[in-house]
Chain A
């Protein structure tokens, strides 16, 4: 456990010293500031616009961080040859991978926490009460980011950073579209398209399951079991992807 913690701490230290992290965090703050401008331009309640835009920003910037830091997780270690010294110590490869994953998870927590606090402060300026209901959207966003990170991590164990980034981004996009695609296919008569859409739906993670943003912003009812089910779905998916990544990494040569 200590070894995993050591790798995690080191990975966290590395990622928060990375300029990409700060650039993206700065980008997130700019987005939040922009939501304020947008809120003032609209005829509707400005706070709803801020919440909507703010949650979207947490999700997008978090996804970019998960992809950018996740894809380099293993490949960069091999490219920079730092992995040789680590794996020559009595540490199992799965411990190394889990440590790296945990370190980046902490980085993502930092991003989500910083942005959540900013969003809350912003909302408080318009409606002087803490919008705790936003957590119904933020916690699933965090779980989605963990899943995206796991996907980036999986590709990183056998592919270059560029390809891993492309693959992960594709899965992020497909994951948000499969539900709509399935519904679209069912409304038509094309059996081949229906099978294709079904295939995509069942193979790729359904990321829309974790999207509660609109319902939270517009105060539409969300039941706790529904959220818990989505979180469990995401956690299981993440676990399976991590196990697959470990399976691949255990067997590969470190050239």
Chain B
């Protein structure tokens, strides 16, 4: 069953003098029940806008959103979800306990359950000691934890988390990942946006890549893990490495389709050089060249392609397309 169904969602904002900029372009997406879905995209890609549309905070130009078949425009359907905004802001004069009590009172929860939930959630996020402390005295990481606690106050079926790992220290990030995984065990569906690709690889079932308001790709994380699509890496000790003339020459002449030469990537860091390519043949040609130039080889071998490479390729292609369009 689908937890969220987004159909042809489009949103633009006015920039003055009657001009409008499209922030989200015909987004269609379905998120399955009980999955963890990563929503990847650069700043300004439209991730928060999508969440705000799902929550009814902003109105779409066109398209529709539903949760388990109930339209998102019906405010009562929000009783099914919990939301953690990016850098959450709360009433600073309230204590953590008062804050959770206030948010709980916006649901139809009886007093006994409310008290139990507050105790349980303060324990879950490790804030029992700060229960009676006003939120204005909280650090950013602590506020993030209050944020996740309030998002879980109604024991929601769907959790929407906007950059949940931001502002957290490594331990805090691990705790957040554990909370997300625990929520899935409880049968919840989770969608979260992030810049941190490793977090998506660690916890997500699927991820999508949003570039400038357009959905570029939906990736099954399992597919990446099982993929035999490798990246070849050569690390050698040197300050300079010239990519062979032959490869350089062909690089300019070959078409976009030819990945044989097109994929060489060189990164220089101090006296180390990292060469990567998706082609085995190119990798061996480069190895020959490393030996010819008498460089000190540190490592050479294939590595599994990760989500970061897919993400960078996806956003890179979109950038190239954008540049071509603007050049026209």
Using a CB–CB cutoff of 8 Å, the interface residues on chain A facing chain B are 2-3, 6-7, 10, 13-14, 17, 80-82, 84-93, 251, 253-255
Contact = CB atoms under 8 A, between A and B. Distances in A.
Interface in B18-34: none
- Which interface residue of A82, A85, A90, A254 has the most chain B CB atoms within 10 A? A85
B71 to A, nearest CB: 13
A255 to B, nearest CB: 7
B284 interface: no
A254 B91 contact: no
Given A10-B102, A254-B58, A255-B58, A84 B85 contact: yes
Contact of B55 (A17, A81, A88, A93): A88
B141 interface: no
A254 B52 CA distance: 8
Can you list the 5 inter-chain pairs with the closest CB atoms, starting with the nearest?
A6-B105, A88-B83, A253-B58, A89-B106, A90-B79
12 contacts: A80-B89, A81-B85, A84-B57, A87-B57, A88-B78, A88-B160, A89-B78, A89-B154, A90-B78, A254-B52, A254-B57, A255-B58
Contact of A85 (B59, B75, B85): B85
Contacts of A2: 105, 108
Given A17-B93, A82-B90, A90 B85 contact: no
A89 B152 CA distance: 11
Contact of B76 (A6, A87, A90): A90
B107 A90 contact: yes
B143 to A, nearest CB: 11
B102 A253 contact: no
A82 B89 contact: yes
B144 interface: no
Nearest to A88: B83
Interface in B87-118: 87-91, 93-94, 102-103, 105-108
Contacts of A85: 83, 85, 88-90, 103, 147, 150
Interface string B113-156: 00000000000000000000000000000000001001000100
B102 A6 contact: yes
A3 B106 contact: yes
Interface residues of B, number: 32
B283 interface: no
Contacts of B87: 81
Nearest to A17: B93
A255 B53 CA distance: 11
A43 to B, nearest CB: 50
Contacts of B58: 253-255
B85 A87 contact: no
Contacts of A84: 52, 55, 57, 83, 85, 88-89
Contact of B91 (A14, A87, A93): A14
Contacts of B150: 85
Contacts of B106: 3, 6-7, 86, 89-91
Contacts of A91: 75, 106
B172 interface: no
Given A6-B106, A10-B102, A253 B57 contact: yes
Given A82-B89, A84-B89, A90-B76, 7 more contacts: A10-B102, A17-B93, A86-B103, A88-B55, A89-B78, A92-B75, A93-B75
Nearest to B81: A88
B56 interface: yes
Nearest to A6: B105
Given A81-B85, A81-B89, A82-B91, A89 B56 contact: no
A92 B106 CA distance: 10
A200 B247 CA distance: 81
A80 B92 CA distance: 10
Contacts of A6: 102, 105-106
Interface in B35-94: 52, 55-59, 75-79, 81, 83, 85, 87-91, 93-94
A13 B83 contact: no
Contacts of A87: 55-57
A14 B103 CA distance: 15
A45 B75 CA distance: 60
A84 B90 CA distance: 10
Contacts of B108: 2
A33 B105 CA distance: 42
B105 A13 contact: no
Nearest to B82: A88
A97 B78 CA distance: 18
Contacts of B56: 87
Contacts of B85: 81, 84-85, 88
A34 B58 CA distance: 51
B93 A90 contact: no
Contacts of A254: 52, 57-58
| A7, A10, A93: residue with the most chain B Cβ atoms closer than 10 Å | A10
